Amino acid sequence: MAQWRTPLETEVWGILNVTPDSFSDGGRYVDPGAAIAHARRLRAQGADVIDIGGESTRPGAAPIDPAEERARILPVVEELVREGVRVSVDTIHASTARAAMAAGAEIINDVTAGLHDPEMLRTVAEGGARIVLMHSRGIDVTVDTHYDDVVREVVRHLDERRRAAIAAGIARDRIVLDPGFGFSKEADDNWRLLAGLDRVIGLGAAVLVGTSRKRFLGELLAAGATLEERDAATAATSLLAAQTSSSVSVRVHDVASTVAALSALERTHRAIGEAHASARPDWSIALPLPAAERRTGEIALTGIRARGHHGVLPQERRDGQEFVVDARLELDLSGAIASDDVGDTVHYGELAEQLVDAVERDPLDLIETLADRLAEVCLAHPLVRRASVTVHKPAAPIAVPFDDVAVTVHRERQW
């Protein structure tokens, strides 16, 4: 069967729960035949990946034995792989992950980011699959929902789990980060996460966004609305996430509506390009200019000060020191010049805060690595084409008199 990919090349993951008690579609696809038939429908609608779950993560769901989980999912995994479908398995158990990879699953999706089962990261590393590391605060998603700064805390947690996965032997390019919409979060926290998604992208890994039919979307609807009525809001939030970066994939129950929304965006972009190529109208709105008319420029943000605990010496890790950051960004300024709107450029105040956050995160040995981390933060802004970041370490513990030590990293977006 030919597969229709979304024109924007955003991966769409179709959700397939082979459970009797999932919050949205529990019980519909417990029978392997019904599950396989539904997976085929999702694929025909445009799903790039089928994400199969055999254990519910809804509030109050009873844990099941991993052997039961495997009995539910493996017949479905095996048949879909045989048909050439890309399969992800949603599990927190290393034994299930091992069996799923042996059956041909190419992705393991762990809602605890490898914390529930201490063997999970090593198992996935040995199996060679990709892994989704999701932010949560344990299996019970209704407790511990207070955050002082939800975006900062989620980013720090995901960065810690990303580093743990790398330490376990999982290649960097096989790691996917999921902010965990709806897991251990109040409604407003989810909206703040969506607004701050660029800071998750700034960690430099692929990102999976799963807002589908979550309770915070239900709050937008009239009382008594069905779960399916949340699909329009799911498509809208998925579209917003997809526009943030080409590294974002979306995970949804209703594939057709999200694919249609992404296709509408692509057709609009195509029409804008065609209009610029064939006409000379007096535009009343700011549109992207053709390449020959673009106005590229540079934003320089220098002298940012932040305290971090980076360095190879014990006292540096213990006491910390001040670092000074200079960032120079090359970007297309055409939209900002035409619209006079800060939304069409890089908000340098927000960028400065993001760079400070990145300096204050977990310590690194080398300022070379720190500079690269900061360059990733800059490139997370979709308008930025190139970023040069210099990290100064004026208080470095050097035995001879000196003025400064600095490292500069140059990064260019790979389109």
Show which residues are catalytic: 214, 251
**The CA-based dihedral angle spanning residues 267, 270, 275, 278, taken in that order and rounded to the nearest 10 degrees:** -130
**The CA-based dihedral angle spanning residues 23, 104, 8, 258, taken in that order and rounded to the nearest 10 degrees:** -20
CA of residue 93 relative to chain centroid, distance: 22
> Measuring CA to CA, which residue among 50, 88, 49, 97 is closest to residue 70?
97
What is the rounded distance in angstroms from the CA atom of residue 72 to the CA atom of residue 51? 14
DSSP state of 174: G
SS3 88: strand
What is the rounded distance in angstroms from the CA atom of residue 190 to the CA atom of residue 182? 7
Secondary structure element (H or E) that encloses residue 74, with its range: helix 66-82
- Tally Cβ neighbours within 10 Å of residue 13: 26
Burial (CB count within 10 angstroms: exposed 0-12, middle 13-18, buried 19+), residue 146: exposed
Q: How far is CA 377 from CA 13, 21, 201, in A?
A: 26, 40, 8
What is the rounded distance in angstroms from the CA atom of residue 209 to the CA atom of residue 166? 21
Q: Find residue 392's DSSP bridge partners.
A: 324, 406
HSE of 351 in the Cβ direction (CA atoms, 13 Å)?
29
* CB-based contacts of 362-365 (< 8 A; 24+ apart in sequence): 362/156, 362/159, 362/160, 362/163, 363/308, 363/309, 363/310, 363/311, 363/317, 364/310, 365/310, 365/311, 365/312
What is the rounded distance in angstroms from the CA atom of residue 51 to the CA atom of residue 210? 11
Phi, psi of 115, rounded to the nearest 5 degrees: -85, -30
Give the strand pairing for 87-90 and 49-53.
parallel
Give the strand pairing for 384-392 and 321-332.
antiparallel
What is the rounded distance in angstroms from the CA atom of residue 162 to the CA atom of residue 115? 12
